[in-house]
Structure 1
Amino acid sequence: MKLKTRLVIAFFTIIIIPVLMAAMMVSMVCRYQIGVVEKNYGITGTTISDFTNSMQVLARVTEKPYHELKKMSEHTFEMEDATELDQFNKKLENKNAYLLVRKDGTIVYTGNDDDRVKAVIEQLPGYGDTDTTSENGIYLGGDAEALVKQVDFRYDDGKEGSAFIVSDVSNVIPEVGHFLWEILIGIVVILILTSAALIIWIYRAVMGPIGKMQTAAQNIKEGNLDFELKPEADDELGKLCQSLEEMRGRLKDSAEEKLKYDKESKELISNISHDLKTPVTTIKGYAEGIIDGVADTPEKIDRYVRTIYNKATEMNTLINELTLYSKIDTNKIPYNFNIVSANEYFNDCADDLSVELAAQNVGFGYFNYVEKNVRIIADPEQVKRVIHNIVNNSLKYMDKPKGMINLRVKDVGDFVQIELEDNGKGIAAKDLPNIFDRFYRTDASRNSSTGGSGIGLSVVKKIVEEHGGKIWATSREETGTTMYFVLRKYQEVPVNE
């Protein structure tokens, strides 16, 4: 479940559940308190609505005593009997009320000695007031804070008399107060429990993935990338876990690539150092021979100087390879793509190769099967580098007395395919898939003697791929190797008139 969905659910839950639970609780508490009130005060028919109006409850509480008082007033001698009045007043005490009796404007009986009685007496209605001579009575405000029910009668001597049931509104009935407090406390408890449950629900949903991510971040900080962070759900935090896992994977790949790069760089330095050491030693030896006078004839001096020149040329080739490797590694090989004729271009390449290979006593065959109008999109200098790197690689590992290299150019649909075949030692099947990897050497001992940095074919692959083509090889041990690569043809797009 998404975090957004959880929050929406929590929002509605914290509104709906407390309302429903509060309604249920109010109903149960009301029923309980109604039972208590009816039992304590001897009333019936009390409803939940009565609890919303304390005056109505008080009026109901003194309803029965009011009718008893009316019957007493019919016997005027009872209204003058202090004992009868005290007994009646004791009944009212249980109902949070007391009795006042007035005769001809003078209070003749007071059932309460509270300080507010004076304020009540000052506000008592007159004889015959119809608003107070009812079951509901009237409310006296100010300092009195009382509900008054009035019963009018006449004494035997003809004087006006009034009896009042006074209910103290300031304290209300205790059960109503308890009811309100219970409702308030219940609502607070419901809110606390609902909030706590939702917080725990969201906390577990959030802190579980966050805890895992914290552990993962600590591992990454310490350089430990050999772990897996699995998202628990397809939500926002799950996607964050997935992103962190992808970051960890990339960091691990980057770290492994860096280790591999460092290893390759060290290997390159070692290869270059080893390959430079041989010509430097040769140059130094022949130079000392000239200085020491060992080369004492013009012929010897010429041979020594030519050897020094050739070894210096080898060193320059190695340095150029190192420079090219640096450019490849930073994607800074300069390309100058042109549209060139396949026939003319590869004819020129074949002429150069025939001269170069003849000087090394290696046979050369050239076979061109493309039409004269076929053109390719290529950087002539870089494609020539590809061909020369492949040829030089073949020459390094040529083990036959009479070496042979064939160049074939074929039309294969949208591409021109170039094949360079030699009759050298060949490449083992286990090594063939790796020969285009940087620094890969099929035979370290043989390479040590033949030289080379181990990046020649990786340069070839990079250049061919930058031309939009691909390169591959086939080989049989002791028979020879054939390198294939393709270059994209140039095709004119017809313009609609």
Structure 2
Amino acid sequence: MKFKTRLIIAFFTVIMVPVVLTSLFILLLGRYQISSIEKTYGLTGTTVEVLTNPVQVLGQLTVEPCHELRAEAVANPDKLEDATYLNEFNEMLADKKSCLIVRKDDTITYMGGKVNRMEKVLEKLPSYGNTETTSEAGLYFGGNVQILVKQIDFQYSDGADGSAFIVTDVGDMIPEIREFAVDVLIVIGLVLIFTAAVLVLWIYRAVMQPLGRMQQAAQYIKEGNLDFEMKWETDDELGQLCRDFEEMRRRLKTNTEEKLAFDKENKELISNISHDLKTPVTTIKGYAEGIMDGVADTPEKLEKYIRTIYNKAGEMDTLINELTFYSKIDTNRIPYNFDTLSVNNYFNDCAEDLALELEQRGVEFGYFNYVEEDVRVIADAEQIKRVIHNIINNSLKYIDKPKGKINLRVKDVGDFVQVELEDNGCGIAAKDLTNIFERFYRTDASRNSSKGGSGIGLSVVKKIIEDHGGKIWATSREGTGTTMYFVLRKYQEVPVNE
């Protein structure tokens, strides 16, 4: 569940749950209080709406006394001058928060005296024959008085006008109603507290669990431990944050592993080149000492020594160039100069150079071109030459036959030009064939360490061919030889619609 959805649910829950629970409680408690009030005060037909209206409740308490007094006033009006009867009636009204006042003409003949603010009450008493106060509901006076007056008019036997008033102090609420109001307030408070507590706990658990995991994960990362898994159980915003955190951890781990591998490769490269540089340096030093000591005492020997020094210096230059090019690969700064090349012209020139070089090394070279004259490719001539030389140098290291042989074939294969370089070396095992283009990979480290080289030649070849939009692969048979293949996309002119 989304965190936003949780907050929306929480918002409506905070509104709806207290309303529903409070309404239910008021209904149940109201029924109980109604039953108690009806039993205590002898009422019937009381409802929750009546219970919440003190004027209406207190008005009902005096309905029966009002009927009784009216009947007595009609049947025996002079009895309303009997102090004993009036006191007894007034005591009965006292239990109902009311009192009795009797007036003859304009003179108050009896006053129960149980109502507060009596002077103001007397001022509010209506005149004889008032129709509002003679009704069963009575007349309510608000303001500072807060009284309900029910008036009963009658005629004394001597002809005087008489009025009996049942005055109820509405400001003095009956205890059950007061308790009901207090209980309602308490319930509302408890419901609000309960609802808030449940929602806070719900949201707290939804927030703190993923936060706790992220905190633990951050501690692991701080300690350098990336070998853990950040799990998540929800699909909300925090769950997405956990997924992002896990993705960050994976990338950090990948970067760390790549850095360690890179450092290892750099150390291996430095070790390989240092090893390979030691041999020509030792040779150069030895031949130079021979010249200095006069060992080369004939022109032929001197020329041989100088030629050897020159060749070894060339090997050192090749190694240094290889190291420089390796650094450019890692920073993706290989200097490409793409141009449209004629396949025949380019590979014919390459074949001439290779024929001379391999002839000096005693290796037989064969060149076969099956491409039409007009076929062209877009490529960097210098970098493609580097590809061919790296492949051939790698082949020369592993030619184990008395007579070495290397063949160069150029073929037209649809939208591509395919170049094949075949040797008759020792071959490569099938299990190693897919790994030969990886950096520093050696099929037999103990044997190949003596062959020299930085170990990055074929990885450089793969990088250059892929940057040209091509592909490189190899086939091999142990004891027979290896063939390297790479393809370059043909250059095709797009016709311009006139």
Q: TM-score w.r.t. structure 2 length?
A: 0.95
- Partner residue in 2 for 1:227: 228
8 Å CA contact 2:115, 2:169 repeated in 1 = no
**Deviation sequence 1:306-360 (CA, Å, 0-9, x none):** 2222211111110000000000011000111112111111111111100111111
Q: What is the aligned partner in structure 1 of residue 15 from structure 2?
A: 15
Question: For residue 216 of structure 2, what is the aligned residue in structure 1?
Answer: 215
Deviations 1:440-495 (A, max 9, x none): 12233333322100011100000000011111111122221111111111122233
Whole-angstrom distance in 2 between the partners of 1:28 and 1:444:
90
Question: Which amino acid is 2:440 matched to?
Answer: F
Q: Determine the C-alpha separation between the residues in 2 that align with 1:196 and 1:144.
A: 44
Q: State the partner residue of 2:63.
A: 63
Alignment of 1:192-207 (within 5 A): 192-207=193-208
SS in 2 for 1:165: strand
Q: Does 2:269 correspond to 1:268? A: yes
CA distance in 2, matches of 1:287, 1:111: 143
Is 1:296 paired with 2:283? no
2:377 matches 1:373: no
Contact 1:3 1:236 in 2 (8 A): yes
Structure 1 residue 65: Cα displacement: 0.9
In structure 2, distance between residues paired with 1:253 and 1:51: 74
Q: Distance in 2 between matches of 1:122 and 1:159?
A: 21
Whether the 8 Å contact between 2:422 and 2:483 is mirrored in structure 1 is yes
| 1:282, distance to aligned residue in structure 2 (A) | 1.7
1:44 lines up with 2:44 in the alignment: yes
Contact 1:428 1:477 in 2 (8 A): yes
Separation of aligned partners in 1, 2:46 and 2:450: 113
**Residue 231 of structure 1 contacts residue 241 of structure 1 at CA under 8 Å; is this kept in 2?**
yes
Moved more, 217-226 or 317-326: 217-226
Q: CA offsets, 1:168-210, max 9 Å, x none?
A: 1112223223333333332332333233323323332332223
Q: 2-side partners of 1:369 and 1:421: how far apart? A: 16
Q: Identify the residue that residue 305 of structure 1 maps to in structure 2.
A: 306
What residue identity is the alignment partner of 2:459? S
Q: Which moved more, 1:43-52 or 1:473-482?
A: 43-52
Moved more, 464-473 or 164-173: 164-173
Question: Does 2:353 match 1:352?
Answer: yes
- What SS is found at the alignment partner of 1:230? coil
1:120–1:140 Cα contact (<8 Å) kept: no
Q: Is the 8 A contact 2:98 2:114 kept in 1?
A: no
Secondary structure of the structure 2 residue equivalent to 1:490: coil
Indicate the larger mover: 422-431 or 73-82.
73-82
Matches within 5 A, 1:54-453: 54-74=54-74, 75-113=76-114, 115-453=116-454
CA contact (8 A) 1:209 1:238 kept: yes
* Paired letter, 2:128: Y
How far, CA to CA, are the matches of 1:44 and 1:449 in structure 2? 115
Identity of aligned residues (%): 68
Q: Go from structure 1 to structure 2 and tell me whether the alpha carbon gap of 1:142 and 1:190 turns closer, same or farther (over 3 Å shift).
A: closer
**Cα distance 1:394–1:339, how it changes in 2: closer, same or farther (>3 A)?**
same
Tell me the alpha carbon deviations over residues 367-401 of structure 1, each in whole angstroms, 9 at most, x when there is no partner.
11111121112111111110011011111222222
* Matched-pair contact (CA < 8 Å) for 1:117–1:144: no
Q: Which runs of 4+ in 1 moved over 6 A?
A: none
**CA distance in 2 between partners of 1:45 and 1:450 (Å):** 113
Q: C-alpha displacement at 1:115, in angstroms?
A: 4.6
SS at match of 2:434: helix
Q: CA deviation at 1:84?
A: 1.4
For residues 333 and 465 of structure 2, what CA distance do their matches in structure 1 show? 15
Further displaced range: 287-296 or 459-468? 287-296
Alpha-carbon distance in 1 for matches of 2:22, 2:242 = 40
Structure 2: where are the runs of 5+ without partners? none
Structure 1 letter corresponding to 2:162? G
Report deviation, 1:260: 0.6
Contact 1:405–1:423 (CA<8 Å) still a contact in 2?
yes
Aligned partners of 1:91 and 1:106: how far apart in 2? 24
Q: Which amino acid aligns with 1:259?
A: L
Question: How far does residue 113 in structure 1 lie from its aligned partner after superposition?
Answer: 4.9
The separation in 1 between residues aligned to 2:16 and 2:128, in whole angstroms, is 55
Could you say what the CA RMSD is over the residues aligned between the two structures, in angstroms?
A: 1.9
Q: Which amino acid aligns with 2:59?
A: A
* Alpha-carbon distance between aligned partners in 2 of 1:184 and 1:313, rounded to the nearest angstrom: 99
Secondary structure of the structure 2 residue equivalent to 1:408: strand
- Per mean C-alpha deviation after superposition, the further-off stretch among 105-114 and 159-168 is 105-114
Asked if the contact 1:275/1:448 (under 8 Å) is kept, the reply is: no
* Alpha-carbon contact 2:101-2:164 (below 8 Å) kept: yes
1:442 aligns to what SS in structure 2?
coil
| Separation of aligned partners in 2, 1:113 and 1:481 | 124
Residue pair 2:94, 2:114 contacting (<8 A) in 1 also: no
Amino acid at match of 1:249: R
Equivalent residue letter for 2:171 = S
Deviation of the 1:111 alpha carbon: 1.8
Secondary structure, in 3 states, of the residue corresponding to 1:164? strand
CA distance in 2, matches of 1:276, 1:310: 13
SS at match of 2:469: coil
Give the distance between the partners of 2:297 and 2:79, measured in 1 at CA.
166
| Shift in alpha-carbon separation, 1:142–1:363, aligned structure 2, 3 A | closer
Q: Does 2:28 correspond to 1:28?
A: yes
How many angstroms does 1:59 deviate by? 1.3
Corresponding pairs, count: 497
Can you list the C-alpha shifts for 1:268-314, whole angstroms capped at 9, x where unaligned?
A: 11111111111112222222222333333333333222222221111
AA of the residue aligned to 1:65: P
Q: Which piece of structure 1 moves more, 326-335 or 227-236?
A: 227-236
Q: In structure 1, how many angstroms separate the alpha carbons of the residues matched to 2:469 and 2:176?
A: 92
For 1:320 and 1:238, locate their aligned partners in 2 and report how far apart those are by CA, in whole Å: 51
* Mapped contact 2:33–2:180 kept (Cα < 8 A): yes
Distance in 2 between residues matched to 1:63 and 1:55, nearest whole Å: 13
SS in 1 for 2:390: helix
Once the two structures are overlaid, the 10-residue window that deviates more, 317-326 or 72-81, is 72-81
Q: 1:95 offset after TM fit, Å?
A: 1.0
1:82–1:76 CA distance, 2 compared to 1 (3 A): same
**Cα distance in 2, alignment partners of residues 439 and 165 from structure 1:** 114
